[in-house]
Amino acid sequence: MKKPQTNYAFIDANNLHLAIVNLGWALNYRKFRVYLREHYGVGKAYYFVGHMPQYQSLYSFLESAGYTMKYKEVPNTKRGETKGNIDPELVLQAMIDINQYDRAVLVSSDGDFACLVNYWRDKGKLECVLAPCKNGCSHLLKKAAKERLYFVEDLRYKLEYKK
């Protein structure tokens, strides 16, 4: 039976991408979007990312795969490094939309989201946390998610991009 599409996913793009790359494989983003819909009833999947013009074709692909893109301008530091922390935008969007979704799925392993996960839990809004990998997952996030913590790395056989 197909789940109703009443849940929202909030995806920390950089956290997801870097963790999967560090595990040595590539995520099939189309399959991942289908997985979110079929397993967690995700109707809207926000993809939070620092915007860099050279990745516009990737952003277009992700939109075509069903993600709702949320960009943050990426300033360069004094040392020429890029810094695009999307945490505040993700939390703000989760709160703006809180009456629009039944439950939320967070895709990140960042402990900065523990307070949001605790809030969702207290309000009955937490579907689950999908951390990219076990080893990189913050203990604060593990504590907040409790039994609703799952790992994308465990889904490699379903979600790996194969050329």
Cα–Cα nearest to 138, from 156, 112, 161? 112
Q: Which domains does the chain have, with CATH numbers?
A: 7-104+116-135+146-159 (3.40.50.1010)
Mean pLDDT of the chain: 94
The 10s digit of each residue's pLDDT in 118-141 is 999 999 999 999 999 999 999 999
- What sign has the CA pseudo-torsion 67, 56, 20, 162? positive
pLDDT band at residue 18, thresholds of 50, 70 and 90?
A: very high
Determine the average pLDDT of the residues in 75-102. Answer: 86
> Which tens digits make up the pLDDT trace of 42-74?
999 999 999 999 999 999 999 999 999 999 988
Answer whether residue 34 shows pLDDT above 70: yes
User: How far apart (Å, rounded) are the C-alpha atoms in residues 60 and 63?
Assistant: 5
**What pLDDT, on the 0 to 100 scale, is given for residue 31?**
98
